[in-house]
Structure 1
Amino acid sequence: MLEVAALLGWENARAAERPVLGELTTEGTATMSGAELRTDVIRVARHAERLRPTVIAVLDGSRSSIAVLLGLLAAAVDVVVVEAGNSHLRDERSVIWSTGARTLIKPESSAVPAPTGPTELTYDDLLAPDPGRAWTPPSGSGSASPDLLLLTSGSTSEPRLARQPMRAAIRGGELYRSIHGYGPADRILLPVPVAHSFGLVGGLFAGLSAGAQVLTMPKFSVGRLVGALADGVSAVLGTPLLYSMLVRAWGTEAHTPGLRLLLSSGGPLPQETADGVRRLCGVPVYQVYGSTETGLVACQDSSREAWHPGSVGAFAPDVQWELLPDMPGEDSVGSGRRLAVRTSTMFTGYSDGGPGPGPGLYETGDLVRISDTSELFLLGRKQTFINVGGKKVNPQRVARVVGYHPDVAEVHVFGVEKHGEQTVHAAVVAGPRGGAGLPAGVTALCRERLAAHEVPHHVHLLRTLPRSALGKVDISALLAAVGVEEDEA
């Protein structure tokens, strides 16, 4: 496929010789040249042509996982991209199993309890030489462009799979490259998952298209991160939690000889953390704002000497935007208005047949303010996920899993914020056979079915869920019933 060929610079002989991928392991950094990556991508594409139209690919961030992803896309296969260890793989009702994909591709060491149906293949199965099967990169302008199916955060409902054409993802990479000046001399570190749009588009695709070396960290380690920075990494894509951990790990001094760029996504960056990073290494952390559906919407960059605290930067190139009036009966938050946008990297729809944005603007669900300096400030959401250590927890999905417990009659999951940290709470009502041991049983079930950050920190056993006259859960009364002050929620 043309996009993958351009991404890897197949016509550039010098690019073929340079290391384009690096994998940080306990033994050091294992690298892969452009020529080696091209060989692996072609091997995968030879096998992948028979896997159309859709596969599920479990990505662990290794060099092999990246070669597999690119080979599938080169063969014009639509790919459901899932991070290794994601709790959706253990949830038989997750949207990832509803795509009709007949093949699940995973690391050799990964045990995925897939529902009956998908054929399981490993990375090695697709990377094996197949001399009897010919394949060359297409050269025609009419080549099919596959879709990446990416899990959304599900901030206003259960998570869904957004369809993003490969062409739009490549365009997103070009935006990051242009805004932040990625080039062949850069070594870009991705301690964030390549299965998420920030790492995939802003890191992998942007870095490869710029001829930079992209470094991944399949198993995160603060010590390895500090070591990579001391070894001359020039750019890092991280989260607020990662940068707070980095400040603590550095202590009083940071050794970052090649560092020039730090990007943060996944939630608001505390000013204290931003100030600590800059004080220790002399490089500011630039915030990035976007979503799986829209791609990059706004960001901070080096075009300004300083950005105002709380700002997520200015709108990215080609972004059309509008501040929408409040709906009837809706209360404003501060001076915030609902944001609708249209980007050049927009999704086209959802895997369940849900429509895309159409020709108009897409409502983000965020409440924002635009300053007189054209900076964007996020003020909140009408409905929201819970942010635990920089990772998004969908309360509707957690509630569904809690509801699997046979002794749970009702459940409501919500977040509580205290001292800048959010925790997950589940209020449950027991059925006829439930008793005082129900909270422990719910916690055990969640540990089996969910990722560690999704497991409720507190399970509250109530006689009933307090409800309003319209039958909705009364949040104020619920917080009082479980002993949480309303101004903490």
Structure 2
Amino acid sequence: MARVDAWQQWLDRQPASQPGARWVLFQSTTLGACVQLLAVWERGMLAVLPGDDRPETLARLREISAGQLPTTTVDGWPQQADQSGNPPSKSHIVPTAHVPLAPDQLALELCTSGSTGEPLRIAKRFDQLDAELAIHQQLWPLADTANGQVSLSQVSHQHIYGLLTALLRPLCTGVPFLSEACHYPEQLSAAISQLASQGYRCQVISSPAQLARLPQITTAEAGQVLRVFSSGAPLPEAAARHAEISLHAPIIEIYGSTETGGIAQRRQRDGAEWSPLPCVELRFSDEGQENISSQEAPTPASSLWLRSPFLDMPTEWWPQADRAEVCEQKYQDGQQRFRLLGRSDRLVKLAGKRISLSAVERCLNEQSDVLEIRCLPMPTREHRLGAVIVMAPDAIPHDHNTRRALIAHLRRALMPAFERIALPRYWRFVTRLPLNAQGKFTSEAIARLFADLDDHRLPRWLGEHSSGPEQLTLEAEVPDSLIYLEGHFAQQPLVPGVVMLKWARDLGKRLHLDGQQVDEARFIRLERIKFSSLLLPGMRFTLDATLTHDSHGLRIDFRLASSAGLHASGRLRYSVSGASPLSESSFRQSPTSLSSQPPAHSQEAS
């Protein structure tokens, strides 16, 4: 508790140190967030948890708060040092008196985009948080027992799901937690392996985005994962099955939202239906029938209402923006089980016609090879829809002709049931939805998927994955509208070699290695550059980039390939601080002027 006392003393030195003050709290480590949260609460203050650390987000919240808590040290202390450069000693920390807390007192505000995309702040009282933690402990006991249990997280504690399961839950039950989130599959595998060798069993807090790329743990580690939680979006059945096999543990999905807290849970091995959490009352009624009796038989597809101690007003019915299909078989406690059918508010008006996005998605989902789909109105293309289709890797189109044939097939499937205006115009085919750490399909991901419609210099972004901060793999297509295809060449347009180098360079700028990034001003030269085959319009490709440090400085190794084979590979060399970079003038010429001829095959430069 010395760290908590140190942060309380830091708060006491601030001008706005009175009880009730609101402090913005964003920490990358669970330990840092934990000690600051306790310090704020024990001073009778309110924590404001932003969902991201973008400068504009933090600046907006600072304007309506007492200030922002600074970043902690790795082990949770304030960033203060004595004359020798050491952090404050425990012996210098004097325990301070705590402000009494009441159950109905506001504990924190969580920031969420809401269904409209506009920022919202959702307040939570202590009694709301305590009620949900009690249900978790009832359903999924967690304790610091003799066999040892540890909590591992792959999600952010800045959101309600991660806050409850990855921070408050282990804190309240006295179970150790890993401070650093295991964002990458290799990190999770290494953490499970290390803890298993010491006799610990792990509870893993994850999301659909993370579970889609799980590592296969070894036989020796089997049984050392106690359970895995997932939330943020429904987990596809195939991903749930893969995760259970990979981790040898039950995958428990929690359905809910920031406003409602947890609503229901399921384990897909036992069925696709959701079972309400204890203390959560559900009501199924058609829109507008707000006074329907809970004893009346609901329609097959109804709006979902709930009453819960996790809500701000626990005795009032809350309308959830989802439609549900009630199952005939009830849960073991008599509660009604249900299937989710999508949001009830997903109606858009296109050219004066009301279109149900959920209905379009259901029709497309019935097609073979379609695993998941999201339809959306295009903000920069009036009266047209976009569609993001998840397919198995062997069903994904890899060239212009197969892509056009697939689009034509999907449009024909829609024509009998929908007017032409409801048929998507813009299609993106992916192997998995680009979800954020909370399992959300965000406006930022949508913008990246369709960015090439407005910026014809970009490849068509279809997702990316990484094994660590020093490596990144981009999945993309060559759009027919790519500006660099003009004049290269009339008989057969192709992507100039210098454009492939530019894409590799842009990807490499995003890599980190032990806190280092490449500095564009310190570019030296290209090495081992090879253009092996032509990259044509409509081709789907992967671009892999890895940042490495050697005796000559930093280098980015890249490889651009498609189902047709390797197209380009090589290295980008950068000096480090203290070395003299060479001029970049030769590299900065326009892509068009450097590519008056097709890329030479199998030529190598050093």
State the TM-score bracket (shorter-chain normalisation). 0.5 to 0.7
Output the CA distance in 1 between the equivalents of 2:152 and 2:56.
31
- Per the alignment, residue 354 of structure 1 pairs with none
**Counterpart of 1:375 in 2: which secondary structure?**
strand
Residue 59 (structure 1) aligns with: 27
For residue 43 of structure 1, report the CA deviation from its aligned partner: 2.1
Aligned position for 2:128: 168
Deviation for aligned residue 1:281: 3.9
The reply to whether residue 39 of structure 1 matches residue 2 of structure 2 is yes
TM normalised by structure 1 equals 0.61
Conserved? CA contact 1:426–1:460, under 8 Å: no
Q: Do 1:324 and 1:340's aligned partners in 2 also have CA atoms closer than 8 Å?
A: yes
Q: Distance in 2 between matches of 1:68 and 1:133?
A: 17
SS at match of 2:235: coil
Aligned residue among 219, 228, 235 for 1:269: 235
Match of 1:465 in 2: none
Change in 2 beyond 3 A, CA 1:217/1:74: same
Distance 1:292 1:141 in 2: 23
From 398, 416, 433, the equivalent of 2:388 is 416
1:342-361 Cα distance to aligned partner (Å, 9 max, x none): 21122x3xxxxxxxx58421
Aligned residue pairs, count: 359
Deviation per residue, 1:155-200 (Å, 9 max, x gap): 2442311001133213222221221011113211112111111111
Q: Which amino acid is 2:132 matched to?
A: G
Displacement of 1:286 in angstroms is 1.2
Distance 1:359 1:257, change over 3 A: closer
Q: 1:56 to 1:323 in 2, by over 3 A?
A: same
Q: 2:184 aligns with which of 221, 226, 231?
A: 221
Distance 2:68 2:383 in 1: 33
Query: What code does the residue aligned with 1:416 have?
Result: V
* 2:354 is aligned with 1:379: no
How do 1:47-446 and structure 2 match up within 5 A? 47-49=10-12, 50-52=16-18, 53-83=21-51, 86=52, 89-91=54-56, 96=61, 100-107=64-71, 123-124=78-79, 135-138=96-99, 145-185=105-145, 186-218=149-181, 220-230=183-193, 231-232=195-196, 233-246=201-214, 249-250=215-216, 255-300=221-266, 307-308=270-271, 310-311=272-273, 313-327=274-288, 335-346=300-311, 348=312, 359-371=315-327, 372-373=329-330, 374-383=336-345, 416-419=388-391, 421-422=432-433, 424-425=445-446, 438=455
Taking the aligned partners of 1:254 and 1:132, their CA distance within structure 2 comes to 44
- Please report the RMSD computed on the Cα atoms of aligned residues, expressed in angstroms: 4.5
CA distance in 1, matches of 2:384, 2:98: 51
Task: For 1:336, give the aligned amino acid.
Answer: A
In the aligned structure 1, how far is the partner of 2:182 from the partner of 2:234? 24
State whether residues 78 and 146 of structure 1, in contact with CA within 8 Å, keep that contact through their aligned partners in structure 2. yes
What are the Cα deviations for residues 269-300 of structure 1, in whole angstroms up to 9, with x where unaligned? 12222222333443221111111111111113
Deviations 1:89-125 (A, max 9, x none): 2336986356x11311242699xxxxxxxxxxx9425
Aligned equivalents of 2:6, 2:325: Cα separation in 1? 49
Report the AA paired with residue 222 of structure 1. P
CA distance in 1, matches of 2:163, 2:182: 17
Distance 1:194 1:264 in 2: 14
Unaligned runs of 5+ in 1: 1-37, 111-121, 329-333, 349-356, 387-392, 400-407, 428-434, 445-456, 462-482, 484-489
Instruction: Give CA-to-partner distance per residue, 1:391-440, whole Å, 9 cap, x none.
Output: xx9x99x96xxxxxxxx89899966233273465459xxxxxxx997455
Any idea what SS the aligned residue of 1:215 has?
coil
Q: CA deviation at 1:442?
A: 13
SS at match of 1:173: helix
In structure 2, the residue corresponding to 1:149 is in which secondary structure?
A: strand
Max radius of gyration: which structure? 2
Q: Structure 1 residues 339, 143: CA separation in 2 closer, same or farther (over 3 Å shift)?
A: closer
SS of the counterpart of 1:193?
coil
Higher RCO, 1 or 2 (CA under 8 Å, sep at least 6)? 1
Distance 2:111 2:157 in 1: 13
Quote the Cα distance in structure 2 between the aligned partners of 1:414 and 1:288.
29
Determine helix, strand or coil for the equivalent of 1:101: coil
Q: Is the 8 A contact 1:187 1:213 kept in 2?
A: yes
- Matched residues in 2 for 1:360 and 1:177: separation? 25
One-letter amino acid of the structure 1 residue matched with residue 316 of structure 2: G
Instruction: Report the alpha carbon displacement of residue 63 of structure 1 after superposing the two structures with TM.
Output: 1.9
The structural deviation recorded for 1:201 is 0.8
Q: Distance in 2 between matches of 1:65 and 1:409?
A: 42
Could you say if the C-alpha distance between residues 460 and 192 of structure 1 is closer, same or farther in structure 2, counting changes exceeding 3 Å? farther
Change (3 A) 1:280 1:191: closer
Cα gap change, 1:426 to 1:260, in 2 (>3 Å) = closer
User: For residues 114 and 456 of structure 2, what CA distance do their matches in structure 1 show?
Assistant: 25
Q: Go from structure 1 to structure 2 and tell me whether the alpha carbon gap of 1:157 and 1:82 turns closer, same or farther (over 3 Å shift).
A: closer
Q: Residue 188 of structure 1 aligns to a residue in which SS?
A: strand
Once the two structures are aligned, what percentage of the paired residues are identical?
16
Q: Call closer, same or farther: CA 1:109–1:252 in 2, change over 3 Å.
A: closer
- Match of 2:241, as an amino acid? D
Q: How far apart, CA to CA, are the structure 2 residues paired with 1:269 and 1:284?
A: 13
Residue 177 of structure 2: SS of its match in structure 1? Answer: strand
Note the residue ranges of structure 2 that are not aligned, 5 or more in a row.
82-86, 290-298, 331-335, 347-356, 359-373, 392-430, 435-444, 462-475, 482-537, 539-606
Q: 1:54 to 1:200 in 2, by over 3 A?
A: same
Instruction: Report the TM-score, using the length of structure 2 for normalisation.
Output: 0.50
**Could you say what secondary structure the match of 2:118 adopts?**
coil
